[in-house]
Amino acid sequence: MGSQPVNPACRARLAALRGWGQGPYSWGAMPPTVAPLKIGDHQIWPPLVLAPMSGVTNKTMRALYKPFGLGLTVTEFVSSNALKYGSKRTMEMIDQHGLEKPVATQLWGDDPVTMAAAAKVVRECGADIVDINFGCPAPKVTKTHGGSACLRDVDRCEEIMRAVVEAVDCPVTMKMRLGWTEDQMVYVDVAQRAQKVGIRAVTLHARTARQFYKGSANWEHIKRLKQNLDIPVIGNGDLDDAHLAMTRMRESGVDAIMLGRATLGNPWLISQIADLMEGREARPTPPPAERLRFCIVHYRRMVDELGEKRAVPQMRRHVALYLKGIPGAAVIREQIMRIDRADEAIRVIDDAIARIEDAAVVAA
C-alpha cells in the first residue's frame, strides 16, 4: 500500500512545527521542482529521506523530525542476528509510532538465510520497506563481516539481496558505500546486481568504508551510478545546506536525497530543502531562542518515551548540537554534560533562552 494523503490532524501538526499554511507558505501553493520518489507502490513526497543512524533514529526522533518535511524515515540499523533473540532493545529499534510512516527498517548481517528471516520479522512488525545495510563502516559491524564489509564479496552481496527480496512482500532497498577501499570501488557492480535481483532503489553514500566520515563525499560517483541504473538512486553525503542539496540533486540526476548528521540539532534544514522541492523560497533558520524551545520539546519527548535514565545521556549530544552557534554555548554544554536529571537540564536551557531574549531586548 502506498503512502496516504495527509489528513487534517496531521496537517495541523505539520503546520504547527513547520509554519505551513501561513503567508507565502500556503500548502501546495507552488508547483514542485522535483518529482516524487517511487519505491514499489509507495509514492514518497517530498523525495527526502532521513538516514538510519545508530542510537539516534528511534521512533521518538523519527516522529519529531517527520513533520519538518521528510518523505521517508529509516530506523536505526538492526542486526539480523539480534532479531533471532527478540530482545527488548532490538524490538524497540524496529518499533513505530505511526506518525513517521512510511518507514523503512534497515537490517545488517552477512548471512543470506538469517537476513531473509529477519526481513520477515520486521515486515510482520510493520516495515513498509526493508532496507539492506552495505554501508556502515563501524568496526563493531564490519568485524562480523556486516555493513560495508560485505562489499569485499560482491557475490555474497548478491546472495543476501536475492534472499531478502524473495522473503518479503514489500519493496526491498539497499544502502552502500563506494567500496571497501579506493582501489576496490564495486558500487556499480553491486548496484547492477541489486537491480537484477529485484531491489527497488539504491542509496549511495559517496565515500569508501575506509574513509569513515573523513574527506568529502564524491558526488561524481553518485552521478555515475544514476547513469548506470534504471531503478531509483538516492544520493547521500555532505548535504548541510539546502541550496547545495538541490544543486547536488540536479547535477547528479538522483531521484531523492538522504540527510543524516546535518539534521541533528537542525531539523529546519529538512524544512528548507522541502521548501525548495515544493517550489517555495527556503525560510530562514529560526532564531536561537526558538531553536532552544524546540530542543526542550525534544528533551521532554525523549524522557516521556524512553525514561529519564536513558534519555538524559542521549540528549547531551542533541542539546550540544541545538546550541551550535548560540552565544555562550560552550558554558551551557559543559553544564549539560554534568547533569543527570532532566528537570535540571531543561532549567539550564530555559535560563539560556531567558538570557538570549533579555539581550535582544537590550539590543533593541
Q: Is 150 a catalytic residue?
A: no
Q: Is 202 helix (H, G, I), strand (E, B) or coil?
A: strand
How far, in Å, CA of 307 to CA of 288, rounded? 27
Grid cell in block for residue 67: 513533520
How far, in Å, CA of 95 to CA of 172, rounded? 18
Measured in whole angstroms, how far is the alpha carbon of residue 10 from the centre of its chain? 20
- The active-site residue out of 136, 150, 170, 295 is 136
How far, in Å, CA of 115 to CA of 167, rounded? 9
How far, in Å, CA of 139 to CA of 116, rounded? 23
Contact status, residue 59 vs residue 105, Cβ threshold 8 Å: no
Grid cell in block for residue 279: 517550489
Count CB neighbours of 5 within 10 A: 6
Residue 216: burial class (beta carbons within 10 Å; 0-12, 13-18, 19+):
exposed
Catalytic residue positions, numbered = 136
